Every structure is written in structure tokens, then in C-alpha cells.
Amino acid sequence: MQNPQSTNGMDPRPIGVFDSGVGGLTVVKQLMSLLPEERIIYFGDTARIPYGTKSEETIVRFALENSVFLLEKQVKIIVVACNTASAIALDRLQQVFSLPVVGVIAPGAQAALEQTRNGRIGVIGTASTIRSNAYVKALKALDARVKIFTRPCPLFVPLVEEGWIEDEATYLIARRYLRPLMDNGIDTLILGCTHYPLLKSVLQQVLGESVVLIDSGIETARHVEGILKERGLRAPVGQKPEHYFYLSDLPYKFQEIGERFLERSLPHVETVNFEAFVSGKGRSFWERFERVVESTPVK
Ligand code: DGL
């Protein structure tokens, strides 16, 4: 169904993206390059990162809160850039909200199946993403014959944030993490975490050129483009793309780390008192929740 807010298949409202922190900027980077006329509102939950080690209940709650924040900014689609939140909370968000909510798992799984030649696919991600089996389920649902080998790689997140990319320690850890996947003969590896695209060159060197790396960010941006086109939600031609970045905390070296992820300078960054937002200063969170659910246009 076409969105009532779109005129002639055009919709100037922004794309909303959330992540547990700065990592989701790897997805934003791909959205910006594929959809240069779209506005983006980004929320990075830097006060509550990491999600990768938290319980399912907590991750679902955070994902709902982050979505309400974006919906109050009148976004037309929500992109869950965080693999952990996509793995655990996407179904819930799609049940609750009537606008399109897109995660990174299905697009990554689809791309991996298109690339594999021997049907042996590796998946790496945070402990919660791997434990959830979300990639395994998504891959199996598309092709039951495929063999999947998974491995949590929790040390990659702090290494990337520390800027230790082409570092001896990173190579050592990557070799250790990837060895079992290599022994299993994978020919395709899904980078199932926002931070891992920054390690592409290290991972490629460790795995060898014959293994194809799947960057879920690129695949998700393509998927978002498809949905916007299909539903008449594309930005008007020539729209000036303004982007807003909100964080629940301004972490040390944020600018530097953020720019490393985005590969361009970060404009407009604002810190939000998210605790007050959630605990309901002014208006209670559930009142906000109900309001956005009621006012969200049909899919
Ligand atoms: N954004 C998370 C992910 O993609 C990584 C960081 C975290 O653990 O919150 O899974």
C-alpha cells in the first residue's frame, strides 16, 4: 500500500536509524552513498552500549525505546543497524509498529546465499547475535541445504573502537577466531556486527582471497532502497540531505571514532538525556509509545 504521506511517490521525511552506539554509522555510510538525497536521523545508544552481551529482554526494551525516539522525529522507515538488536528485537518491532522496520540480518543472509559456491557459510557477530541463531534461521529459511558455521568474536568491537585495525594483536585474534571456520571450509563469511566492516582487509588477509565477505550494511542499504521505491517513499528529487545524529551519551573520542566509521566528517551531533526520555520526564514513556503507534501511518 502507498503511504498516505507521500505525494507522487515522494516522501521528504527522514530515514531513522538506530544502533547501540557508533557502529551503526557503517550502515549510515552505505545509506548515504546509495541514497544521497535521503535525510537521516541517527540514534546511537552510547550510554547503554554494548548490547552484544545483554539479555534478550533488555535488548527488546532498548529497541522499543529507541524506535519511539525516532518515531517522534517523524521518520518514514526504521533501520535497525545493530546486528544484535536486529537478531533479537526485529520481530517485536515489526509487530508493534506499522511503518516499515528493516534489520540487517535478512539482507546479509540473502547476499551470502547469492555468493556461496560450496554452500558453506560462516557467520561472526557478538555473543548475543550468535546465541540468538538469527542468521542461521534466516539462511535456513531461504535454503535448507546450506551448512552454517558460527563464531562469536567479542574482542573485535573494542579493537575497532580503539582504532587497532592493521595491528599485530588484531591479526593474532582474527586468526584465532577464524581458524575453526576456515577448517570447516567456508567460502563466504557474513560480517554480522556493525564494527566488522572496518576489519575487512584484516579478515580478508587471514581468510585468503577466495572467501567472500558479506557486509550487511551494504546489503541493508540496497534493501532499504527497494522498500522506499516499492512504497513510494523516496525523497523528492534534489532534496537537500540534512542528517542529525543523536547520542544517549557523548563518549570519549566520539568524533574521532564516529568519523572513522562514517569516513566523512560528522556534522550535527546532539546528546539526548535518554534516561529522562524513558523514565518519562514531561510525558510518560508509555504515553509517548501509544501516541507514536497511533499516529504512525499505515505500511
Ligand atoms: N552494534 C552491535 C552489533 O552490531 C555491536 C556493539 C554492541 O555490542 O552493542 O551487534
pLDDT in tens, 78-114: 999 999 999 999 999 999 999 999 999 999 999 999 9
Q: What is the mean pLDDT of residues 213-232?
A: 96
pLDDT of residue 295: 74
Cell 530515514 sits on residue: 15
Q: Is the pLDDT of residue 61 over 80?
A: yes
Residue among 79, 105, 194, 220 whose CB has most ligand 1 atoms within 8 A, to mutate: 194
Residue 2: is its pLDDT beyond 70? Answer: no
Q: What whole-number distance in Å separates Cα of residue 268 and Cα of residue 277?
A: 20
What domains are defined for the chain?
15-103+219-295 (3.40.50.1860), 106-216 (3.40.50.1860)
- Across 72-79, average pLDDT: 96
Q: What is the mean pLDDT of residues 265-279?
A: 86
In DSSP terms, 150 is beta-bridged to: 123
Least confident of 24-33, 40-49, 223-232, 262-271: 262-271
Sign of CA dihedral 212, 117, 126, 16: positive
* 153 flagged as catalytic: no
Instruction: Please list every protein residue whose CB sits less than 6 Å from any atom of ligand 1.
Output: 19-21, 23, 49-52, 82-84, 126, 129, 157, 193-195
Measure the CA angle with vertex 199, ends 198 and 201; round to 5°: 110
**Cα gap 138→83, rounded to integer Å:** 13
7-11, 140-144, 173-177, 204-208: which range is least confident on average?
A: 7-11
**Which backbone phi and psi does 145 adopt, to 5 degrees?**
-80, -15
Mean pLDDT of 131-156: 97
**End-to-end distance of the chain based on CA atoms, in angstroms?**
6
Catalytic hit among 35, 60, 64, 193: 193
Residue nearest to atom 6 of ligand 1 (CA): 50
Is 82 marked active-site? yes
126 CA from centroid of ligand 1 (Å): 7
Contact (Cβ atoms closer than 8 angstroms) between residue 224 and residue 47:
no
How remote is the CA of residue 232 from the centroid of ligand 1, in Å? 31
Q: Which atom of ligand 1 is nearest to the CA of 84?
A: 10
In the prediction, which pLDDT does 68 show?
A: 95
* Residue 160 cell numbers, joined: 575497532
pTM metric for this prediction: 0.92
Q: What is the mean pLDDT of the chain?
A: 92
- Minimum-distance ligand 1 atom for the alpha carbon of 125: 10
Residue 6 has pLDDT above 60, yes or no: no
Main-chain dihedrals φ then ψ at residue 25, nearest 5 degrees: -65, -20
Q: What value does the mean pLDDT take over residues 4-16?
A: 77
d(CA 280, CA 168): 47
C-alpha cell recorded at residue 109? 543472509
Measured over all CA atoms, what is the biggest interatomic distance in the chain, rounded to whole angstroms?
57
* DSSP-derived 3-state class of residue 23: coil
Joined grid coordinates for residue 14: 527522514
Place of cell 586468526: 175
Cα–ligand 1 centroid distance for 189 (angstroms): 18
Q: What was the pLDDT predicted at 298?
A: 46
Cell 497511533 belongs to which residue?
A: 294
Q: Atom 1 in ligand 1: which residue has the minimum CA distance?
A: 82
Higher pLDDT, 240 or 193: 193
pLDDT at residue 210 above 80? yes
Region at 124 (left for phi over 0; alpha for psi -120 to 50; beta for the rest): beta
Q: Which residue in 22, 64, 77, 82 is the catalytic one?
A: 82
Query: What is the three-class DSSP state of 38?
Result: coil
- How far apart CA 133 and CA 259 sit, in angstroms, is 31
For the four alpha carbons of 116, 121, 127 and 128, in that order, the dihedral sign comes to positive
For the segment 212-237, the average pLDDT, to the nearest whole number, is 95
Q: Which atom of ligand 1 is nearest to the CA of 193?
A: 4
281 confidence band (pLDDT: 50, 70, 90): low
Low-confidence winner among 77-81, 192-196, 270-274, 276-280 (lowest mean pLDDT):
276-280
Which neighbouring-strand residues pair with 148? Answer: 121
